[in-house]
């Protein structure tokens, strides 16, 4: 080797040692991925980026340009099909690999960023032709930088997990009313960013997945995790001020109310339900909304109402449905009966003959009776809703009394008929 060649190699080695030392220093400091990328870009005079498995650019740097332009340059290159093959090979071998220059495609070095046994992202270096390090040393630099990125990501995950546990514990304490006194509750709420000057609603998003066999249990657990993450991402983007807590098969959202009503919560819940239907059509999702609350001590009450709502919907066999606690009406009392068959038996004892007549003759008596009650026993108002003559409503009411044996001008008979209608509306009139 000539003296000039030896000098270049020594210079490259010295630079390699310097870069290693700087990278190790970043690992000991409170550095982020952007700091690592900028360092490698400056020392190698190259475009460098960290990209996810889905080829999203997390951070990028290039000499003399902004981070946005560097990211745009990286996006132009990551769409190349050959790069996808190299990424997969890099993940499987857990080693840095080099994609040589082909035509207008520059040489690209890919190194997996390892966090435990996972490869959540890759460090990519678009290798310039005049790189001081050469091919082998460029691989070493990129691989070591990817290791440092893995350390940073691992540290961020640990910090995020610890913060999440603390946050979940605080939310759990508020939702279950575990504060020893009002001072505890107020302090926990303040830590979570809860504003006691504004009205809030609790939204409980419950979901269920059928498990056909023991072998599907792991896949089902992974699917539940994806559903939880999707809900959290959706709510965070739509309602960034919301407080979110995820459980095994439930995500709880504390959201700001609008004009002392639950309309904000209902709109958010319906939008979330629609998105989950697109992403996870096999999941059975129900969403319950608790009453409006302002004092942090009332959060437990609102959460209990939201949970009772989801439990009611699930017990009724409903899915892909949003309901507020106030929507349940008398059913929140009736469903305290352990056996639903008892409720249906009561309803059929009262209105069974009418239901049979309805099925056989298509008489619309049940709909007429329900409208008649809603319009406070007024044939005139009921006729306007049903688009028939008042005499028609009066005739149908008389026939209902004849078929059922009820006297609708009697308070007791009218009450049991109304309760029976609520049960049939909730459970249906089929066995």
Residue 307's closest CA among 293, 287, 321? 287
* CB 394, CB 386: distance < 8 Å: no
Task: Please report the pLDDT score of residue 130 as a whole number.
Answer: 53
Task: Please report the pLDDT score of residue 276 as a whole number.
Answer: 92
d(CA 169, CA 163): 10
- Beta carbons within 8 Å of 245's beta carbon, 6+ residues apart: 167, 168, 171, 172, 175, 251, 252
Residue 395's closest CA among 364, 362, 424, 357? 364
Pairing type for strands 284-289 and 321-324 reads parallel
Task: Please report the pLDDT score of residue 431 as a whole number.
Answer: 42
Alpha carbon distances (Å) from 311 to 78, 285, 325, 339: 47, 11, 11, 15
Rounded to two decimals, the pTM is: 0.59
Q: Which domains does the chain have, with CATH numbers?
A: 3-158 (3.30.450.40), 198-328 (3.30.70.270), 340-427 (1.10.10.2840)
Task: Please report the pLDDT score of residue 184 as a whole number.
Answer: 82
Q: What are φ and ψ of residue 253, in 5° steps?
A: -125, 125
- Rg of the chain in Å (alpha carbons): 32
- Tens digit of pLDDT at every position of the chain (431 positions): 565 555 555 555 565 566 667 666 666 667 788 888 888 888 788 889 998 887 788 889 988 888 888 888 888 877 767 777 787 888 888 888 888 877 767 788 888 988 888 888 898 888 765 555 566 677 788 888 888 888 888 887 877 777 777 778 888 888 888 766 778 888 888 888 899 999 999 999 999 887 555 556 777 788 888 899 899 989 988 898 899 988 888 999 999 987 656 688 999 999 999 999 998 998 999 999 999 999 998 999 999 999 989 988 888 888 899 999 888 877 777 777 777 788 888 888 888 888 888 888 777 888 888 898 888 888 899 889 889 998 998 998 899 888 888 888 888 888 888 888 888 877 765 54
Task: Please report the pLDDT score of residue 374 as a whole number.
Answer: 85
* CB 266, CB 253: distance < 8 Å: no
d(CA 354, CA 349): 10
């Amino acid at each position: 080797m000539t003296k000039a060649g030896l000098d270049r190699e020594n210079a490259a080695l010295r630079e390699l040692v310097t870069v290693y030392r700087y990278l190790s220093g970043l690992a000991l400091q409170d550095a982020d991925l952007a700091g690592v990328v900028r360092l490698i870009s400056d020392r190698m005079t190259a475009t460098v980026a960290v990209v996810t498995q889905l080829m999203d650019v997390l951070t990028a740097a290039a000499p003399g340009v902004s981070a946005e332009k560097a990211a745009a340059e990286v996006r132009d290159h990551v769409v190349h099909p050959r790069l996808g093959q190299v990424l997969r090979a890099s993940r499987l071998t857990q080693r840095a690999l080099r994609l040589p220059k082909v035509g207008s495609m520059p040489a690209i070095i890919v190194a997996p960023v390892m966090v435990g046994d996972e490869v959540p992202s890759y460090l990519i270096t678009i290798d310039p032709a005049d790189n001081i390090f050469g091919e082998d040393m460029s691989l070493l630099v990129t691989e070591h930088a990817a290791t440092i990125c893995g350390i940073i990501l691992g540290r961020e995950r640990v910090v995020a997990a610890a913060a999440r546990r603390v946050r979940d514990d605080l939310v759990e304490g508020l939702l279950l009313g575990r504060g020893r006194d009002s001072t505890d509750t107020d302090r926990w709420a303040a830590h979570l960013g809860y504003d006691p000057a504004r009205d809030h609603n609790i939204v409980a998003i419950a979901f269920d997945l059928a498990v056909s066999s023991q072998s599907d249990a792991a896949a089902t657990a992974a699917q539940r995790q994806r559903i939880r993450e999707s809900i959290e991402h959706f709510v965070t983007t739509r309602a960034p001020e919301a407080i979110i807590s995820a459980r095994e098969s439930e995500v709880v959202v504390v959201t700001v109310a609008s004009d002392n009503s639950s309309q904000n919560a209902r709109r958010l819940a319906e939008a979330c339900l629609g998105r989950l239907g697109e992403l996870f059509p096999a999941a059975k999702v129900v969403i319950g909304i608790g009453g409006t609350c302002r004092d942090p001590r009332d959060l437990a009450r609102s959460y209990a109402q939201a949970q009772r709502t989801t439990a009611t919907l699930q017990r009724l066999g409903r899915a892909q449905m949003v309901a507020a606690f106030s929507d349940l009406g008398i059913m929140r009392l009736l469903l305290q009966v352990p056996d639903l068959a008892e409720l249906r038996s009561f309803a059929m004892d009262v209105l069974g003959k009418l239901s049979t007549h309805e099925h056989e003759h298509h008489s619309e008596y049940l709909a007429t009776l329900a409208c008649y009650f809603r319009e406070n026993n007024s044939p005139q108002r009921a006729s306007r809703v049903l688009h028939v003559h008042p005499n028609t409503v009066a005739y149908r009411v008389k026939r209902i009394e004849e078929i059922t044996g009820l006297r609708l001008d009697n308070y007791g008979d009218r009450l049991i008929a109304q309760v029976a209608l609520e049960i049939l509306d909730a459970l249906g009139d089929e066995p």
